[in-house]
Amino acid sequence: MRRRALLLGVLSAMTIPVAISAQTKDESDVRMVVAAFGKALASGDSTAAIALLHPEVAIFEGGWETLEDYRRGHLRADMRALQALKQETLRDVIKVSGDLALSTREYSSTGTIGERKVDSVGVETMVLLRTGEGWKIRHIHWSSRARRPAGNGGHP
């Protein structure tokens, strides 16, 4: 009986690193897709950005946009903004559960777009779906606000 319990314990311990490394690989893959999307926008590569989006993507950016809405609308403005602004990630978390992944990020943006100075803090949520072609971005939600002056505890 003891020998069986010891064997089960050893076998269980051997499977833990496999599960952890599989999770880490998925998280890494998701992080790479999210980063590649941001880089494609920042470099003005609309083809690469669109290729990372699921055909049924829902983008919440001042309203609900489909892939075609985004391609015809905010995509160009997002590329111009990311080319003009410096963004810094303040914190981000990737969580994977089966074929779904959640990427959450808080970031700051500074710079000038045209004649408008930007100093803001934003949040980004992406839901990714594992497909036969790899991870695809299925949902994006962005929102931002002007940075609040220090010393007010983050409240207006």
Calculate mean pLDDT across residues 82-91: 94
CA–CA dist 95, 104 (Å, integer): 9
Q: Per-residue pLDDT for 1 more than 80?
A: no
- Identify the pLDDT of residue 147: 86
pLDDT of residue 152: 58
**β-strand partners of 117:** 112
Asked which of 9-23, 48-62, 114-128 is least confident by mean pLDDT, the reply is: 9-23
- Tens of pLDDT, residue by residue over 24-71, are 899 999 999 999 999 999 999 999 999 999 999 999 998 999 999 999
CATH topology for 2-146?
Answer: Nuclear Transport Factor 2; Chain: A, (3.10.450)
Calpha distance 111→33 (Å, rounded): 25
Q: Mean pLDDT in the chain?
A: 86
Longest dimension (CA), the chain: 77
The pLDDT, as a whole number, for residue 154 is 53
For the chain, which residues make up each domain, given as ranges?
Answer: 2-146
How far is residue 29's CA from residue 135's CA, in Å, rounded to a whole number? 8
The model's pTM: 0.79
Exposure b/e, 50-72, CB count within 10 A at least 16 = b: bebbbeebbbebeeebebebbee
